[in-house]
Amino acid sequence: MPSSQALINSDVVTFGLLTSILALIFYTAKSEHPVCKRFYSIIPIVLMCYLLPSLLNTFGIISSEDSQLWRIAKNYFLPASLVLMTLSIDLKAIARLGGKAVTMFLTGTVGIIIGGPLAIIVMGLISPETLTGAGSNQVWKGLATLAGSWIGGGANQTAMLEVYQYNPSNYSAMVTVDIIVANLWMACLLYGVGKSDKIDRWLKADTGAIDKIKAQLEQYHAEQSQALDFQKLTAIFAVAFGGVGFSHLAANTLSPFFAELSLTQDTILSSHFFWIVVTATTVGLAFSFSRLRKLEGAGASKFGSLFIYLLVLIVGTKMDVMKAFEQPGLILLGIIWMAVHVGLLVIVAKIIRAPFFFLAVGSKANVGGAASAPIIAGAFHPSLAPVGVLLAVLGYALGTYGAILCAEFMSRVS
């Protein structure tokens, strides 16, 4: 509805309401009250961040029609989150995890990239009507957001929403697929943790390296921890929004250049926002090779996570929750897609004799990102949680490139 018909028609008031909702969600999520603990064991935090703003929009309390919040979110919060999340990548620490850990993570990434196009091909045979749509309603554009989520995380997911200009009112269906399918797989992995010894025997895996990794990571994170003072706080914000400014500068130059070339004028290379996303990710990666990476010890990625949650809240205001279950065929498509991802992981794990731990964490570092990978890793042993964090951060870096590659494949087969 138009903003004039909404109960709240001020962006400033709406943003204040959204930040209050975010604080309330995390306060209740961390509560020891049995009702809260039970509730969040079933409903993920990120779903609440999408759901509550969408309900405000659906029932006319707020309106996104004339709002400028999304413009601010995509131009400031999103590239800032990409810079800060990729800044913390420590390739040396990832290398210390061993070849099998990285191989399983990359296998999971490849499984998502090829799984999307394959799922579209299969659904075209089973239920062609599921794939109908034109313009901004084309299903493959919505699935591009799913690729961003399943390779990187919330920032990559939102980036794909803007890069491919998918209709935000239909976005609820994609979020539903993401939540349902990802959490079904999460449940399977948690069940597998209790059977990991049997699974490792079936995989003929060598589990001796895991104990060595535990000791290495405990020592590394103890050395990197820093107190957050005002100097480091300003440095984090300078890096984040300096990267944002450079990303916009690069996009202002590169987008018109490719738009004028006959070979690329109608491709994604001519998209202004595409270059913002790619540049922000690349800037973060470049910073990770410098002394600026030490800002992670002061909590750089925590600020990146905050920007991601603000993104999710603002995206939620553009969603129509009533459309979430209008296309049940999309859930089947998501299951097929996930089956390709899982099948490839099992095959590679069997070939290289990788422990189930690397399979599980490599998968969730893609599909669940920083929210789920440490949970899975910690389920094996609390000291292993940092393994999930390290691989999940690598996922943020690959999420932009991998999701775009997957989306382009899906556009070809649709």
**Mean pLDDT of all residues belonging to the chain:** 83
Neighbouring C-alpha atoms within 13 Å toward the C-beta of 122: 17
Instruction: Count CB atoms within 10 A of the CB of residue 367.
Output: 27
What is the pLDDT, as a whole number, of residue 260? 85
What is the pLDDT, as a whole number, of residue 340? 96
Domain ranges of the chain: 70-413
pLDDT in tens, 357-389: 889 989 988 887 766 676 677 677 655 666 776
Which residues lie below 8 Å from residue 398, measured CB to CB, with a gap of 6+?
A: 109, 151, 152
Query: What sign for the dihedral angle of Cα 222, 109, 174, 314?
Result: positive
Confidence of residue 323 (pLDDT cuts 50, 70, 90): low
DSSP assignment of 68-83: -HHHHIIIIIHHHHHH
Contact 147, 153 (CB under 8 A): no
* Greater pLDDT, 46 or 320: 46
pLDDT in tens, 56-113: 888 888 887 778 898 898 889 988 988 887 787 766 766 767 788 889 999 999 999 9
Please give the average per-residue pLDDT across 107-126, as a whole number: 93
pTM of the model: 0.68
Please report, in angstroms and rounded to a whole number, the separation of the first and last CA atoms in the chain: 32
**The tokens 């929009």 sit on which residue?**
57
**The tokens 């994604």 sit on which residue?**
268
Confidence of residue 115 (pLDDT cuts 50, 70, 90): very high
Distance between CA 228 and CA 367 in Å, rounded? 30
What is the pLDDT, as a whole number, of residue 14? 93
DSSP 353: T
Residue 321 pLDDT greater than 80, yes or no = no
Which residues lie below 8 Å from residue 370, measured CB to CB, with a gap of 6+?
A: 85, 153, 301, 305, 388, 389, 392, 393, 396
For the record, the structure tokens of 184 come out as 């079904």
* Greater pLDDT, 327 or 192: 192
Based on its alpha-carbon atoms, the radius of gyration of the chain, rounded to whole angstroms, reads 21
pLDDT in tens, 215-236: 665 565 566 667 778 999 999 9
Instruction: Count CB atoms within 10 A of the CB of residue 165.
Output: 13
What is the pLDDT, as a whole number, of residue 134? 79
> 267 by DSSP, 3-state: which?
coil
Residue 195 pLDDT greater than 80, yes or no = yes
pLDDT over 90 percentage in the chain: 26
What is the pLDDT, as a whole number, of residue 20? 96
